[in-house]
Structure 1
Amino acid sequence: MHLLKMSKSRIFQICGIMVSVFMILLIIFYWDDVGTPHFYLHTAITRIQATHLPTMTNQNHDHPNSKKAIEEKMPSSKVDIIQDDLELTYVENTKGYQERGSREMEQTFNAISPSSLEEQLQGFDLGINSAKTKTALERIQNERKQTIKDICADSSFMFSGKNRNFEDIPNKELDHLIVDDRHGIIYCYVPKVACTNWKRIMILLSESLLKQGTPYRDPLEIPRDLVHNSSSHLTFNKFWKRYGKFSKHLMKIKLKKYTKFLFVRDPFVRLISAFRSKFVIQNEDFYKRFAIPMLQLYANYSKPPPSVSEAFSAGIKPTFINFIQYLLDPRTEKDMPFNEHWRQVYRLCHPCQINYDFIGKLESLDEDASYLLKLLNVEKLVQFPPSLRNRTVTSWEEDWFARIPVAWRRKLYELYKPDFVVFGYPKPTNLLFD
């Protein structure tokens, strides 16, 4: 009798193992076949209900450094307002946020998977105000993508992380890859490159936020603080918590089948933009985290004012020279990586590990944005918001770097050289030689 019980127990154990193996094989086969959206049927996707959000108050409305004041005071030829350049401070009150459960996915992967770029290019009317034809824009994209491939394959040009495999990228370094499963799109956002409005576009397409119970239809209606709230987006770094050891496998499937894009900008101009928006305009968080250490280390202020308002009232601010000193200081990255607003693009978006389908540039934002929305076949759903920006902002480089020693400029170029080379920006020789 005892042996009979043992044999039955053994049979149950064997059956259990066989069932487990079968289920694992079924899951793997199912993922590879349909691209994973059915898995979302069992996964709650958080949405933020914006119905009861508090009124967003612009604290800088009457401040001399507010966006409105600067526009009024400066000649139009000197206005350099890009969506991310002047960051107005809003009253934040998370008590108004309410979470809503997600609705189930309605389509299989094959239904939402975008066609190849070649298929999407056939026969559409570009319909944008551009002197470039569809063929010219396609050629530009091919050149940008080929430049990345050539540099990534060039063993004579090395930079950190260039040769690692996608599987080796730490999960925390994948937080800039936003996924829209409804349309099969992945966007790697780069701060200071119109990322606020591109994030708005991704929210609208994925319907990840609701206003009074319905998804947003106008990207500019989405409040700025919600746009930059991490819970508003599904990003790759969240996959591990949801899918555990299967997360990288899932990411690779989406990278293979989804359309991937990013927007870049001249690296030195991006640094100028970052400095202006975070240290020329009052920003309490950046003042405490970065400005105070800069003032202590490079400006001989042993005890800087504790708040940004007190510092600005006293005329105490880090200079652009202090900012460059901070970037070049080897101590800066010992404790943590560069902040995302001045971290190199190759470290944010991993161009040698991810084969991007579209590389846009801020210098040609309007035509690139319109062209991309056509390629994604979403131009009837959303239009990229018009931008207010000075087209000659690159010419400001010499003025901003005039007081930076040439030796420092050269070191700074070496620090950001991968971004210049990988994304096809010319070497700023006018800044690097006496």
Structure 2
Amino acid sequence: MINTLKSVKSACGAALIERLRALRWHPYQRNCPMIRAALERMPREQLLYAVNISDRHRYVYMDNPKTGCSSLKSALVQLELKDSQTHMDHYDWRVFHDRSVSPLTRLDNLQHPTSLSALRSEGYRFITMVRNPYTRLLSCYRDKILGNSFQKREILQVLGKADQPIETMVTFAEFIRSISGQQDIEMNPHWRTQTSHILHGIVEYDFIGRFETYARDFIESFRVLGIAEEDIPEQRHLNRTKTDASEHCRDFYTPELQEAVYQRFRPDFEIFGYSSEIPL
């Protein structure tokens, strides 16, 4: 009985906090032009998840899935916790991906309600990473779709197979055709057009790294943030499902699928300078 009462109180407390966050953030959502524009590209909760704020080092990291974000976010959390008394494991994905425990705050954090415009005007640096759309989508397919992750449910629904088991086979062609018909705001963050997801044209970035040169750009990210060389965390590779997408593109892409991806994700190719050719 006591445990039940504690659970009820905990649930009520969590609901109250969420309500307070929504109330505190609502004026920024209404008055910040950058946030209004961002919400035309992605739903509110996805925006709140994607924006990672460090007040300690005064930067914003925009989480862009399938670009080495787990490894970089783990390092950013390690930097944030430096010299603290916490026992949090910055290598544990449940720590650096769980925004309720991460030391990197959200836009609607009760101690730090703010807006993207305010962060930029206060001198916060903005960083993110991008990736070749061909390899990013293939990595997503092999991880989330072939791996039967919960994101696969979205594709099954598009295919009219929402009532079928999660193990139902979805081919790469079906995956590409399903997402090609979606609007950016409808897309899952793992396959959303990157220009939309990182709010290109809305956010002015101080540094945009590339997955293809991750080792170099990992270090450069911290240099841009003004972190001393000796304080830059060690590089790590925390991809829980090593998909080696760049090595298998020609095994999955037909000329038709290549063209479909290029046309649907053309802004990513053109703005970030990726070739329309399949990577060798």
Q: Same fold (TM over 0.5)?
A: yes
- List aligned pairs for 1:7-406, cutoff 5 A: 166=34, 168-170=36-38, 172=44, 174-175=47-48, 176-207=50-81, 214=86, 216=88, 219-220=90-91, 223-231=92-100, 232=102, 233-236=104-107, 238=108, 247=115, 249-254=117-122, 257-283=123-149, 285-287=150-152, 289-293=153-157, 296-297=159-160, 304-305=164-165, 308=166, 311=167, 316-329=168-181, 332-333=182-183, 337-375=186-224, 376-387=226-237, 393-402=245-254, 406=256
Q: Distance in 2 between matches of 1:383 and 1:263?
A: 17
CA contact (8 A) 2:131 2:211 kept: yes
1:385 maps to amino acid: Q
Q: Distance in 2 between matches of 1:185 and 1:243?
A: 13
Q: Distance in 2 between matches of 1:183 and 1:362?
A: 23
State the SS of the aligned residue for 2:151: helix
State the SS of the aligned residue for 2:248: helix
Q: Distance in 1 between matches of 2:162 and 2:118?
A: 50
Deviations 1:125-150 (A, max 9, x none): xxxxxxxxxxxxxxxxxxxxxxxxxx
CA contact (8 A) 2:61 2:127 kept: yes
CA apart distance, 1:207: 3.2
2:98 maps to amino acid: N
Quick one: percent identity of the two aligned structures? 23
State the SS of the aligned residue for 1:191: coil
CA contact (8 A) 2:139 2:245 kept: no
CA apart distance, 1:369: 1.0
Deviations 1:313-336 (A, max 9, x none): xxx32111110121123xx449x6
CA contact (8 A) 2:35 2:115 kept: no
Change (3 A) 1:333 1:350: closer
Where does residue 22 of structure 2 map in the other structure?
none
Q: Distance in 1 between matches of 2:243 and 2:176?
A: 24
CA apart distance, 1:189: 1.2
Q: Distance in 2 between matches of 1:267 and 1:359?
A: 15
Where does residue 6 of structure 2 map in the other structure?
none
Q: Distance in 1 between matches of 2:76 and 2:35?
A: 25
CA apart distance, 1:413: 1.3
Aligned residue pairs total: 239
CA apart distance, 1:373: 2.4
CA apart distance, 1:182: 0.3
Structure 2 unaligned segments of length 5 or more: list them. 1-9, 15-32
Correspondence 1:423 to 2:269: no
After TM superposition, what 4+ stretches of structure 1 lie above 6 angstroms from structure 2?
241-244, 388-392
Structure 1 unaligned segments of length 5 or more: list them. 1-94, 100-164
CA contact (8 A) 1:193 1:265 kept: yes
Higher Cα radius of gyration: 1
Q: Distance in 1 between matches of 2:63 and 2:98?
A: 13
CA contact (8 A) 2:138 2:245 kept: no
1:225 maps to amino acid: R
CA contact (8 A) 1:201 1:384 kept: yes
Q: Distance in 2 between matches of 1:393 and 1:339?
A: 19
Q: Distance in 2 between matches of 1:422 and 1:400?
A: 25
State the SS of the aligned residue for 1:166: helix
Change (3 A) 1:393 1:278: closer
Change (3 A) 1:396 1:168: same
Change (3 A) 1:249 1:342: closer
CA contact (8 A) 1:180 1:205 kept: no
CA contact (8 A) 1:192 1:270 kept: yes
Where does residue 261 of structure 2 map in the other structure?
412
State the SS of the aligned residue for 1:304: coil
Q: Distance in 1 between matches of 2:172 and 2:138?
A: 8
CA contact (8 A) 1:291 1:317 kept: no
CA apart distance, 1:204: 2.3
Q: Distance in 2 between matches of 1:207 and 1:188?
A: 19
